[in-house]
């Protein structure tokens, strides 16, 4: 069985984190049915966040403490610990505000079968419950990033090489983390590969606490909020 470590830095936003954890549990069951052992590894900075995960998800496959700033160090601490303490074949990036829809599952299974090293999506749904707004955002040729951070799948070989003589996030920063790690992997010979998905399969739920807020993406292609919420309900039970 292939082992995939989903790594998730957590910090506050418990109402959204609860949805993300429920979505992950649903995804975990779907992948297990296809012979993929998907497990969760979290980095926590506040004890109350770890307690929340234990209460609302259960015991993850791994946990590690790391201060929340700079975020690059938190990411490196999480990835290094996951690399050294698990036998994961692949590492999947998932935010504490992300939910993966089933439409994307087959893309990952194919990437795993082909032993991809650095693959992910270039489109995503941003959902803003406060304003009941939602958009599709897609990276274009002029964007600095090729892949969204959420949903990136790294091979063990790529991650091992990044930490063999350094770290994956080789600059201290609280923003542009996906760009930093993307460039690091390019330098190591693992350029980003796009899935080329027909439509987004990740819903990023925006709140008032984000590195990049919903306002940054407001000019994306508008989608029906109620319809997207119904799609979210297919994998998560939402409170009224």
Mean pLDDT for the chain? 93
DSSP code for 21: H
Q: Percentage of the chain with pLDDT > 90?
A: 85
pTM over 0.85: yes
Q: pLDDT tens-digit profile of 102-112?
A: 999 999 999 99
- Sorting pLDDT into bands at 50, 70 and 90, what band is 164? very high
- Sorting pLDDT into bands at 50, 70 and 90, what band is 201? very high
Q: Return the pLDDT at 142.
A: 76
Residue in this structure with the two tokens 């119904």, named with its chain if needed? 230
Q: Which residues contact 113 (CB under 8 A, 6 or more apart)?
A: none
Mean pLDDT throughout 135-149? Answer: 88
Q: Return the pLDDT at 193.
A: 97
- Sorting pLDDT into bands at 50, 70 and 90, what band is 144? confident
Confidence check: pLDDT of 209 > 60? no
Mean pLDDT throughout 113-142? Answer: 92
Q: What CATH fold (topology level) applies to the domain 2-121+145-195?
A: Spore Coat Polysaccharide Biosynthesis Protein SpsA; Chain A (3.90.550)
N- to C-terminal Cα separation, the chain: 38
Q: How far is Cα 134 from Cα 49, in angstroms, rounded to an integer? A: 27
Mean pLDDT throughout 79-85? Answer: 98
- Sorting pLDDT into bands at 50, 70 and 90, what band is 130? confident
Could you list the beta-strand ranges (E) of 149-211. Answer: 153-155, 193-194, 202-205
Give me the DSSP letters along 205-224. E--SS-SS-GGGGTTSEE--
């Amino acid at each position: 069985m292939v082992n995939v470590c989903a790594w998730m830095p957590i910090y506050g936003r418990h109402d959204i984190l609860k949805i993300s954890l429920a979505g992950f549990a649903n995804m975990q069951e779907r992948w297990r049915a296809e012979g993929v052992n998907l497990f969760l590894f979290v980095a926590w900075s506040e004890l109350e966040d770890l307690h929340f995960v234990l209460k609302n998800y259960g015991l993850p496959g791994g946990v590690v403490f790391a201060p929340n700033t700079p975020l690059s160090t938190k990411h490196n601490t999480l990835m290094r610990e996951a690399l050294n303490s698990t036998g994961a074949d692949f590492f999947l990036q998932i935010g504490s505000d992300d939910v993966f829809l089933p439409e994307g599952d087959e893309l990952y299974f194919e990437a795993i079968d082909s032993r991809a090293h650095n693959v992910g999506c270039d489109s995503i749904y941003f959902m803003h419950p406060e304003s009941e707004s939602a958009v599709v955002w897609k990276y274009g040729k002029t964007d600095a990033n090729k892949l969204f951070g959420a949903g990136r799948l790294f091979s063990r070989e790529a991650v091992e090489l990044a930490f063999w003589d350094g770290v994956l996030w080789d600059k201290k920063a609280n923003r542009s983390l996906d760009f930093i790690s993307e460039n690091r992997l390019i330098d190591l010979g693992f350029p980003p590969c796009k899935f080329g998905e027909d439509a987004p399969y990740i819903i990023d739920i925006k709140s008032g606490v984000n590195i990049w807020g919903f306002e940054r993406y407001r000019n994306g292609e508008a989608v029906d909020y109620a319809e997207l919420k119904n799609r979210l309900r297919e994998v998560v039970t939402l409170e009224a």
